[in-house]
A and B are shown apart, each in its own frame.
Chain A
Amino acid sequence: MSFVTPVIAWAPLAPIIIVLGAAAIGILVEAFIRTPATRRAAQLALALASLVGAALVAILQWATLDGAGTVVLEHMMVVDRQALAWQSVLLLFGVLGTLLFAARTRAGEEAFTPLGAVAPGSTEETLARRKGMQLTEVFPLALFAVGGMMLFTSVTDLIFLFVALEVFSLPLYILVALARRRRLLSHEGALKYFLLGAFSSALFLFGAALLYGATGSTSFDEVGAGIASATGLDTLILAGAVLVVVGLLFKLGAVPFHSWTPDAYQGAPTPVTAFMGAATKAAATAALIRLVYGALYGLDWELSWLFWTVAIASMLLGTVVALVQTELKRMLAYSSIAHAGFILVAFAGFPDSTLSALPFYLLTYGLATMGAFAVITQVRERGEDGTVLGEATRLGQWAGLGRRSPWLAASMALFLLSFAGIPLTAGFVGKFVAFSAAMSEGAWPLVLVAVIASAAAAFFYVRLIVLMFFTDVPDGQEDAVAVDYSPLARVVVVAAAVAVVLLGIVPGPVLSAFENAGVLLLGAAG
C-alpha cells in the first residue's frame, strides 16, 4: 500500500500558522526568560505582533482573493471570503483581549493569580505574591484559543471540527480558573465550564460518528450529498445532525444548553470574560453557519423546530432572568444568552443573507461586550484604608458612577444601548440585518418574539444607565467605590466605543465588505 502525500496550500493558512506558531514560541519564551518583568514584556509584544500581523495578512488575503477561495488539505478546510471575514473579526477580538489581559491597576495589580497551582489563601500564594511572580502563560494560552477559533471557522470536516473545538476550548477552561481575586468562584466557574464543555464536545463527536456511519464520510460536502441520497437511514442521520448541532449550541450558550454561561462569565477574570464572550460566540456562530450551510442544508425542515424552539427559549429565558440579576457580570451573561437567541433567529429557514448578516452582528456584539467588560475592570471596591480592591460588580455599587467618572459611565451606557439595539449604535444595525435575514424567509413570528424580547431587555440595560447617572451615591458609601485608571483598558474602552458609534452611524463600508464575504466555497448557499 503506497502512501499518497497530501497536497497542502500553505499560503491561505498563513494567518492561522502565524498565530499558532507565535503561541508555540510563547511557550519557549516561558521556559527561557526567567525575569518576570522581561518575560511579560516579551510575551505581550509577541502576542500583539502576531495577532496584528495575522490580521493584516487575513485582511490582505480577503481583499485580494480572486475566485471563491482555496480548498486546503484535501477538503478538510476551506479558506474562502466567509472564513477570512470571520478570521479578521476574531483577530480583532484577540488584539483587544490581549490588551485587556495585560492591563494592570494603578497599583500594578494584574487580573491573574501569580501562581495558579496553589490553594487560595495559602502561604505559598502569599509568598508568590511577595516575590512578584507573574502568570505570563495567559498570553500563549490566548493565542492558542484565537488560533483554534480561526481554524474552527474554516474547517469543513466533522472530525477536524472536533479537534479545532478542543484546541480553542482547552485554553479557555484554564484561563477561566486563573482569577486573582475571588479564586474559589473562579475555580468553580472553570469546573462547571469544563464539565459541560467536555460533555458538549462528546455529544458533538457522537453525532459526527453517526453522520459518518450514515454517509460514509465526515467531509461536509460528502455528508451533504449523503444526506440527500441516503434511504432508510433517516433516524441515524437525524440523530447525528441534532447531536452535532446541539454540541455547537452549547458553545453558543443557547437555552437549554446555557447553564455554564453565567457561572463561567462571573467566575472568570473579567478580561477573560470579555474575550470569551466576544470570541467564543463568533467562532461558534461561524462553525454553525458552515456546518448548516455546508452539510445539513437538506435537513432544513427537520432542524427548523430545533432552531425555532432554542431561539425562542434563549431570548425569553435570557431576558427574563437577566431582569432579576443583581450581579453585573451575571446580568451580562444572561444578556449574552438572549443574544444567542437573536443570533439563532437569523438561521430560520437558512436564508442566504445570514451569511453576511451574522459576521456583522457578531462584530457589533463582540465590540460592545469587549467594551462593557473593559469598563467593569475599571470600577473597583475601596477598602477601609483606601486601598483599591477587586471589581465592584454588585449593581448597587454602580450608583452615581456618572458623577465620579462621566466618560467611563457614558461609554458603558453606549455599550448597553448597543446591546439593547437602540438606533445610532452598532447593535441596532446588527439586529436589523439579522432580523431582516429571518424576515426574508417569512419567519415573522420568530422576529416578532425577537423584537419583543429586545424591548424587554432594554429595561435592564436602561436600569443600569439610570443607576449610573440619575441615582445618588448612598450616604456613607462615597468612598466605597474607586474608579481605577489603566491605560491599556482605557484604550480598549475608547476603541470599542468609537467602533460602536461609527458602525452605528456609517455601517455602509463594513456592511458591504461582509456582503462580499457572504459566499461559501462549498455548500448549497451562495
Chain B
Amino acid sequence: MDPINFVILAAILFAIGSAAVLLRRNAIIAFMGVELMLNAANLSLVSFSRIHGEIDGQVMAFFVMVVAAAEVVVGLAIIIAVFRARQTISLDEPSELKG
C-alpha cells in the first residue's frame, strides 16, 4: 500500500483530535483529543520516514512518545486536583475567571 495513505489517515486523525479539543467540554475528553493529535503526528512521522527511506522519523516518534507520557502525568495531575476541589471536570463549570 502506498505510504501516502497513512499520511492522509494521520491528517484525518489530527482533525478529529483538534475538533475534540475545541468542541468537547469534558476535560478528559479534550485531553484525549490532544493525545490523538500527538499520535497523528507520530503516524505521519513514521510514514514520511518510510517514504523517504530513512529512520530519522521513527526515532523522532520515540521522543514524541516520551514527551506525551510526561504530558499525561502533569495533565492528569491537574485534572484530578480540579476534580477533588469541584467534583466535576467540565470545562464550562469552572467559571471564576471571566472577561
Q: Which A positions have Cβ atoms within 8 angstroms of B?
A: 116-120, 159, 162-163, 166, 170, 173-174, 177, 183-185, 187-192, 194-195, 198-199, 201-203, 205-206, 208-210, 212-213, 216-218, 262-263, 266-267, 321, 324-325, 327, 330
Contact = CB atoms under 8 A, between A and B. Distances in A.
B12 to A, nearest CB: 12
A209 to B, nearest CB: 4
Contacts of B81: 116-117, 177, 187, 190
Nearest to B64: A205
B78 A191 contact: yes
B76 to A, nearest CB: 10
17 contacts: A116-B81, A117-B81, A159-B63, A163-B67, A166-B70, A177-B81, A184-B94, A185-B96, A191-B79, A195-B34, A205-B38, A209-B41, A209-B48, A209-B57, A212-B57, A212-B60, A263-B97
Given A118-B84, A202-B34, A210-B44, A195 B96 contact: no
B52 A202 contact: no
Contacts of B71: 166, 170, 198, 201
Given A195-B21, A325-B99, 6 more contacts: A163-B63, A166-B67, A166-B71, A174-B74, A174-B78, A209-B44
B51 A213 contact: yes
6 nearest A-B pairs in the assembled complex, by CB-CB distance:
A202-B37, A213-B48, A188-B94, A119-B84, A205-B41, A209-B44
B47 to A, nearest CB: 8
B51 A187 contact: no
B99 A262 contact: yes
A202 B38 contact: yes
B9 interface: no
Interface string B42-65: 101100100110101100100110
B7 A213 contact: yes
Contacts of A188: 82, 94, 96-97
A324 B98 CA distance: 12
B45 A173 contact: no
B99 A327 contact: yes
Contacts of A184: 85-86, 94, 96
A187 B44 contact: no
A166 B84 CA distance: 26
A330 B97 CA distance: 9
Contacts of B96: 184-185, 188
A195 B27 contact: yes
Interface residues of B, number: 45
A213 B44 contact: yes
A210 B10 CA distance: 11
Nearest to B49: A212
Contacts of B21: 195, 199
Nearest to B22: A199
A188 B81 CA distance: 10
A5 B63 CA distance: 19
B5 to A, nearest CB: 13
Given A173-B78, A195-B21, A206-B40, A183 B85 contact: yes
B94 A191 contact: yes
B70 to A, nearest CB: 6
A163 B60 CA distance: 10
Contact of A206 (B33, B37, B84, B94): B37
Interface in B4-19: 7, 10, 14, 17-18
B97 A208 contact: no
B34 A199 contact: yes
A201 B94 CA distance: 24
A75 B75 CA distance: 32
Nearest to A121: B85
Contacts of B30: 195
Contacts of A217: 56
A174 B80 CA distance: 12
B1 to A, nearest CB: 17
Contacts of B85: 119-120, 183-184, 187
Contacts of A199: 18, 21, 33-34, 37
Which of B40, B70, B81: most chain A Cβ within 10 A? B81
B82 A206 contact: no
A338 to B, nearest CB: 16
Given A184-B96, A187-B94, A198 B31 contact: yes
Contacts of B14: 206
A194 B94 contact: no
A189 B98 CA distance: 11
Nearest to A187: B82
A229 B57 CA distance: 21
B67 A195 contact: no
Given A209-B44, A213-B44, A187 B97 contact: no
A66 B33 CA distance: 48
A159 B48 contact: no
B97 A206 contact: no
A86 to B, nearest CB: 22
